[in-house]
Structure 1
Amino acid sequence: MASWQGGTRVLRGSTWSRKHVRFSTSSRRLSYADTVANLKIGTHTRVIFQGFTGRQATANAKESIAWGTNIVGGVTPGKNGEHLGLPVLSTVREAMEKLRPDATGIYVAAHQAPAAIEEAIEAEVPLVIAVAEHIPIHDIMRIHSMLKTQSKSRFVGANAPGIISAIGKCRIGFQPLPCFMPGRIGIIAKSGTLSYEAVASTTRSGLGQSLCIGMGGDVLAGTNFVDALKIFEHDDDTEGIILIGEIGGEAELDAAEWIREYRKRTPNPKPISALIAGVHAAPGRVMGHAGAFTLPGESDAPRKIKHLQDAGVIMVNHPSKLGDSMKSLLGSSGRASSGPGVSQRRGIHTLRRVQLQNTIRWSHAEQRRNLYIHEDQALDLLRERGINASVYSGRGRKRMLGVAVDRANLSPCVIASPATDPDQPHIEVKKFPFDYRKGLDPIRVAAIAQHLQLGESSKDSLPKLIDALIDLYMKKEAFQLETMFVERLGELKVVGANFGFDDAAFRSTKRQQDVHALRRIKDEDPQEVEAEKDGIVYIKLAGDGNIGTLVNGAGLAMNTVDALADAGGKAANFLDTGGKATSETVKKSFQVILQDPRVKVIFVNIFGGLTLGDMIANGILLAFKELEMRLPVVVRIRGTNEEEGQKIIANSGLPLHAFDDFEEAAAKTIELANQG
């Protein structure tokens, strides 16, 4: 059993007991992995908010309390008193002593979030949930370095919708409450909007949800798929599991391996259905989420789908199909829920099996995470650090060496490859992780040299290049530094470079202004730059795509492009208005899309979570009025205020085509595109 003594959770005996969750411990030393059980929230969970008296936290707390969440107070630095009839304390440590919370929701801006997260970890709050996006990646790596040294606090986020127990009426996050219904399906997702679609689908199917964990779309998530799967495996409230992933990292492959072993050891395993977004993602681009990009050596979406299929997971290509998918799986497994259900009109549609493709993505050409500098600028930065760097002369075998993020180890790492030709199937990009606060152990240099297959005379110059890259990586807050080098007269000569820096450090804290000043906006796509000014992520896709897409949420935007392709259509762009789309951002999105002459029809696919359906509908009408629209528009509005939004569209008298079913909307969109 677990109890509280002096504000600290104490284990009694050899078993950590939370409702319906069973994890055994032994005499071994506890670690961060042992905090997984803290994810099981419910009626028992005592919640505090950090930034409690702020506007967003106040609005969220009111909704959550009305829904049933046991919020016991909050923290605002420098304040003591009451708010919403609950105590306000000035520090998290004081809140731990007086309020005995099981979890904290951090509702502060990105530049304040790292300190708030660290304060919660130091106070040993069992569950720490950070919803803010744009937290600098180096701050998150430092936080993960802290997390690895303790066994009290479990971290969810950053850039996460949070965790919600539909059964236990406990919400720590900003999930749209009208979509949820107490039930039997556990959901773990990177994408917020895709998870809301999955929730709505399981609600419409009469299955409902048990526990929904939003791991978030950040580069380094504090909680991953395997962590959630361990909870769902032992949770008596959960009969079926939904997993929603996307490009970036290897967490989906780790989940597939865990599921394979789980199905081997379990006589009647819980059925699992999944979706992976980003099959048609633009190569070398960040697809909305901070973490939705592929580093060298990481798997693409088709490979993730293949691994999950091979592990026995049923794949779908759109989240609206997950309800029927789970209903069918539960029926065939003998785990069918006893609760009443209302079937969707359409049956289960599974995704076609995907052939295994090239497992390595080389991103030297276009990879960028907001701030990506030109090669000549990257070589200048190396020369400033005493590194021999110039343009490749055509002589010498090129190798790759860099520093990047190791998403598996939640730390920075040295990356190395003995070759740089992406057509060679035997290429191995190997990672050498190191602790963010301690740096690279010099002993690892010999192993790096061996992997690079360096000659004896060149090994002595390798430490200098590694030190320069790590110094640049840490001091200038890079997220990816890649160099191509050759051996020349016993020395290493850099002949190419691909440097990406985390501009969240500049946007949220105004750090790294000198690096940010290197950006050459004149060389970028003017439509993408224009969209960025309004907080819109717009990426023009290559090829002959003729469908303009306008979507809220990065995961849903990626999936919209994928699902259109499955139906025979071709998207001209990726466009994410953001999770908080407004009428004005919808109008601005139309303006950007209309500048692409390839577009013959615009497909608006909105799921109303924080975004209200009627607000989106009014934004579409505003765009028609002010932009003198001539192209046909297909609108699919689901979620919050969907009926109001659909009614506004239907009564507008404008050439708009409104649907609630995705497949019907996609079919109409493709029909109109082919007529153009």
Structure 2
Amino acid sequence: MSSTAFLRSCRASAPSTRLVQSSKSSFSTTARLGAYEDTIQNLKIGKHTRVLYQGFTGRQATANARESIAYGTNVVGGVKPGTTGEHLGLPVLPDVRTAVKELKPDASAIYVPGNGTVAAMEEAIENEIGLIVAVAEHIPLHDIMRVQQMLRTQSKTRLVGANCPGIINTWGRCRLGFQPLPFFKEGNVGIVAKSGTLSYEAVASTTRAGLGQTYGISVGGDVLAGTNFVEALEIFEHDEKTEGMVVIGEIGGRAEIDAAEWIREYKKRTLNPKPIMAVIGGIESPMGRVMGHAGAWRSPGEATAHEKIAILEKEGVVVVDHPEKLGEGMKKLLSERGSGTSGRPASGPGAMQKRGYHTMRRRPRTSSSSNCLFPLKRTLIIKPEQAFDMLKERGIKVSGANGQGQMLAVSVDRSQRMPCVVASPTSDPSQVFQRSRRYPFEYGSNDATSDVMINQVAERLQVSDSAKPELKKLIEQLVDLYMQKEAAVLRTNITVSDAGEVSVTDAQFRFDDSAFRSSKRQQDVHALRDLAAVVPEELAAEEEGMTYVKMPGEGTLGTIVNGAGLAMNTVDALIARRGHPANFLDTGGKATKETVKASFKIVTSDPRVKVIFVNIFGGLTLGDMIANGILLAFKDLALQVPVVVRLRGTNEAEGQQLIRDSGLKIDAYDSFEEAAARAIELAAGKS
């Protein structure tokens, strides 16, 4: 059966969505669909796991497979379409069906280039491989929603990813992904993360503290994750070797809130619960921005990073402001657990957290406008008047009065992994999170305009029966536009007259730009991008495959960081220490001589910058190579501003020594705290 035919059969056989309002949260939930949750146990990889590579003979797959095999991973072979032979001494087969029949794999690592990742995932699902790991970035949102539709209607295959380093089990010596192996050590801490580089930081910190890890599960930075925090935490809960848990989250979605709700129930049913720590990135991210990761943006009604931290702290999670603190912090919590004190309200994690986080530093809030327009890589936000034109073409009344009314949107329910209608009786930004409800519907179905949906949305918006016909028309047109133009979120503010007339007063439409960038789809939407609204540094970074966001204020510290999560955390941590970052700059998860030089050029084009702060964690990238890139950039660009480098990771000592021996105006550190303090000191004019 072809992938397209299989997807059609999934839609036809999928149980209808039951819309249920949750009394415990400001989001709706749905009844469990199919039995995808039954595949959680497939995450328990180890020596027994037979691993297949899709795209086996490619350059990246070959290098990765060699490392994984040397580590101990039981790689049994791979697939190259239309080819039968041998590679790395292992069989190569022409398609997944044949590979499954002959090699009987338990898991597949997908290294298919370009647009082939989605087809490779579909093929693996069709052939019921138990675990698939997709590391690729830039998969269009609507493509992954179709994959999620397939996953939801079966009970054999579990997905990790996409846009992630993968999953690793240290005791079982099994790696599916590209995690930097030198930092992993058999130990007792389970780590689940959205950010790859922050997860490496957590691994390095727990290894340095002598704890090591059991599992490292990366859920990825995309809007929809094949595996979420709760599912990973369930693995950690029942794993005998895992004694402590680490969650690394960020803005976007409600995975952290779902985790907090799970933690509450876990502590109720567990006499001596395992301690849990967390880091949440994006505290200082300006509203309306995409912070490097495709999923690092807030949909209508979603919590801020501040709110996520407060919710986790309420459940006794120790939230720290930098992953460097996780190792020693977890060591202390494990010691308390051993003495029977962990989890008690007066002296347990929650109490420790309140002393260690909020009272230590007050975080100044970044001022930003919720209505600002920031077209960025992987997303496209069009002007309100352009959104109005789209609605008018579809026969929707538009007034543009922009007064207080209700909020209605079509977006993504990341927890349910489905598109959804979002409704709030108020459009006041300060109240939308608390008063919004989400109503998920099957991708490609008519559920969004069913009588059940319209009645529930009307009730939530507090409008009369007379408004339901026009309300239904608006929802119908928004959903159709959402599907046809591959939108990420279509938000409207509406007013409803006494006679039941519905009028749109404001519209904020965000489209998935990766559909154009990866497949040249939606060219008409992409053509609406207003390049004049983009600051030059952002365009220059985009041309280099990087993401740059200009921060408001003094902006004395230019930042260069590899990885979106680490870049968010760097900005957060500098502000918490009373620094003034000029920018967020994500080099794209890896740093090379070329990207480092381009980054310096972009950052120093901002006249506010007095010091450049480089924060690099070299996973697969060697620290000495990064150091040479920094020295080359410093000389070639004749930099006049001081540079502070915090370099961790592979060959970190060699890299730091190269910088110290250079004789240039560059300081090199291993510790983030020391490096940040030095950068802030220099920016303040102190030598």
TM (norm. structure 2) is: 0.89
> Alignment partner of 1:675: what SS?
coil
1:35 aligns with 2:34: no
Task: Provide the C-alpha distance between the structure 1 equivalents of 2:240 and 2:369, rounded to a whole number of angstroms.
Answer: 44
- Where do 1:231-270 residues align within 5 Å? 231-270=235-274
**Higher mean Cα deviation, 73-82 or 39-48?**
73-82
- Kindly report which structure 2 residues correspond to 1:19-98, keeping only aligned pairs within 5 A, or say none: 31-98=35-102
Question: Counterpart amino acid of 1:635?
Answer: V
Alignment pair present for 1:524 and 2:530:
no
- 1:467-488 Cα deviation digits (max 9, x unpaired): 1111110011000111222335
| Gap change, CA 1:626 and 1:317, over 3 Å in 2 | same
**2:120 aligns to what?**
116
Specify which of 378, 387, 391 is matched with residue 378 of structure 1: 387
Contact 2:302–2:433, Cα closer than 8 Å, also in 1: no
Pairwise mapping of residues 446-525 of structure 1 onto structure 2 (< 5 A)? Answer: 446-487=455-496, 490-525=500-535
- Cα contact 2:374–2:533 (8 A) shared by 1: no
Match of 1:651 among 648, 661, 682: 661
Unaligned ranges ≥5, structure 2 = 1-31, 341-351
Distance 2:479 2:433 in 1: 27
2:629 is aligned, of 619, 622, 628, to 619
Code of the aligned partner of 1:532: E
Counterpart AA for 1:598 = R
**CA distance in structure 1 between the aligned counterparts of 2:666 and 2:576, rounded to whole angstroms:** 23
Pair 1:405-2:412 in alignment: yes
Cα distance in 1 for residues equivalent to 2:184 and 2:584: 28
Alignment of 1:224 onto 2:228: yes
Amino acid at match of 1:351: Y
Matched, 1:570 2:574: no
User: How many angstroms apart in 2 are the aligned matches of 1:66 and 1:425?
Assistant: 51
Residue 296 in structure 1 maps to residue 300 in structure 2 = yes
Q: Closer, same or farther in 2 for the Cα pair 1:367/1:149, shift >3 Å?
A: farther
- Whichever residue aligns with residue 544 of structure 1, its letter is E
- Identify the residue that residue 415 of structure 1 maps to in structure 2: 422
For 2:439, the equivalent position in structure 1 comes to: 432
Find the aligned partners of 2:338 and 2:433 in 1 and give their Cα distance. Answer: 45
How many Å separate the matches in 1 of 2:243 and 2:339? 6
Aligned partner of 2:169 in structure 1 is 165
- Which shows bigger deviation, 414-423 or 474-483? 414-423
What is the Cα deviation at residue 457 of structure 1? 3.2
d(CA) in 2 for partners of 1:520, 1:49: 41
Percent identical? 60
Give a deviation string over 1:426-460, Cα, whole Å, max 9, x none. Answer: 96222111000323251211221222222443322
Alignment partner, residue 160 of structure 2: 156
Deviation (angstroms), 1:357:
13
The offset of 1:595, in angstroms, is: 1.5
Residues 503 and 319 of structure 1: CA distance in aligned 2, closer, same or farther (over 3 Å): same
In 2, are the aligned partners of 1:295 and 1:362 still within 8 Å (CA)? no
Kindly tell me: are residues 152 and 522 of structure 1, through their superposed partners in 2, closer, same or farther at Cα, counting changes over 3 Å?
Answer: same
1:342-366 deviation digits (Å, cap 9, x = unpaired): xxxxx999422699999xx994434
Structure 1 residues not aligned, in runs of 5+:
1-27, 337-346
Shift of 1:631: 0.4
Shift of 1:322: 0.8
Structure 1 Cα separation of the partners of residues 241 and 552 of structure 2: 46
* Rounded Cα–Cα distance in structure 2 between residues aligned with 1:198 and 1:104: 26
| Alpha-carbon separation, structure 2, partners of 1:76 and 1:432 | 41
- C-alpha change, 1:306 and 1:367, in structure 2 (3 Å) is farther
The code of the aligned residue for 1:552 comes to N
Deviation digits for residues 487-539 of structure 1 (CA, Å, limit 9, x no counterpart): 35643222321111101111111111111111111121111111111011110
Q: Assess if the C-alpha contact under 8 Å between 1:302 and 1:357 holds in 2.
A: no
- Residue identity matched to 2:617: F
Quick check: 209-218 or 485-494, which moved more?
485-494
Q: Residue 459 of structure 1 aligns to which amino acid in structure 2? A: K
Distance 1:623 1:632 in 2: 13
> Quick one: which amino acid aligns to residue 453 of structure 1?
Q
TM-score, normalised to structure 1's length? Answer: 0.90
Counterpart position of 2:180: 176
Worse-matched range after superposition: 347-356 or 68-77: 347-356
Deviation at 1:30, TM superposition (A): 6.7
Match of 1:326 in 2: 330
What CA distance in whole angstroms lies between the structure 1 residues aligned with 2:582 and 2:524?
35
Note the alpha carbon deviations across 1:381-431, whole angstroms, 9 max, x for none.
Answer: 112222223432x7x753222211111111111112222122458962221
Look up the SS of the partner of 2:245 in the other structure. Answer: strand
After superposition, give the CA deviation of every residue in 1:24-73 in whole Å (9 maximum; x if it has no partner).
xxxx9971111111001111110001111111111100111111110000
Q: Does 1:206 align with 2:214?
A: no
Asked if the contact 1:303–1:356 (Cα under 8 Å) also holds between the matched residues in 2, the reply is no
Question: In the alignment, which of 354, 359, 365 is matched to residue 372 of structure 2?
Answer: 365
Encode CA deviations 1:132-183: one digit per residue, 9 max, x unaligned. Answer: 0100000111111111111111111110110011111111001011111111
Q: What is the match of residue 106 of structure 2?
A: 102
> Aligned partners of 2:370 and 2:105: how far apart in 1?
45
Give the deviation of 1:560 after TM superposition.
0.7
Point out the more displaced range, 361-370 or 153-162.
361-370
Calculate the aligned-residue CA RMSD, in Å. 2.3
Task: Indicate how the Cα distance of structure 1 residues 588 and 355 shifts in structure 2: closer, same or farther if over 3 A, else same.
Answer: closer
Partners of 1:610 and 1:633 in 2: CA distance = 24
User: How big is the shift at 1:546?
Assistant: 1.2
Residue equivalent to 2:310: 306
Give the deviation of 1:584 after TM superposition: 1.0
Query: What is the count of residue pairs matched by the alignment?
Result: 635
Q: 2:435 aligns to what SS in structure 1?
A: coil
Tell me the secondary structure at the aligned position of residue 388 of structure 1: coil
Moved more, 155-164 or 234-243: 234-243
The structural deviation recorded for 1:332 is 1.7
Cα distance in 2 for partners of 1:96, 1:491 equals: 58
The range that moved more, 362-371 or 226-235, is 362-371
Distance 1:133 1:29, change over 3 A: closer
Which is helix-richer, 1 or 2? Answer: 2
Structure 1 residue aligned with 2:11: none
Q: Deviation string for 1:561-597 (max 9, x for gaps)?
A: 1111222212111110011221111111111111112
User: Are the aligned partners of 1:130 and 1:158 in contact in 2 as well (CA < 8 Å)?
Assistant: yes
Return the alpha-carbon distance in structure 1 between the equivalents of residues 647 and 260 of structure 2. 33
Q: Distance in 1 between matches of 2:113 and 2:549?
A: 26
Q: Is the 8 A contact 1:185 1:242 kept in 2?
A: yes
CA shift digits 1:308-355 (9 cap, x unpaired): 22212222111111111111111221189xxxxxxxxxx999422699
Distance (Å, rounded) in 2 between the aligned partners of 1:567 and 1:96: 54
Indicate conservation of the 8 Å contact 2:54/2:78, yes or no.
yes
- SS for the counterpart of 2:297 is coil
Task: Indicate if the aligned counterparts of 1:288 and 1:554 stay in contact, CA closer than 8 A.
Answer: yes
Which residue of the partner structure matches residue 130 of structure 2?
126
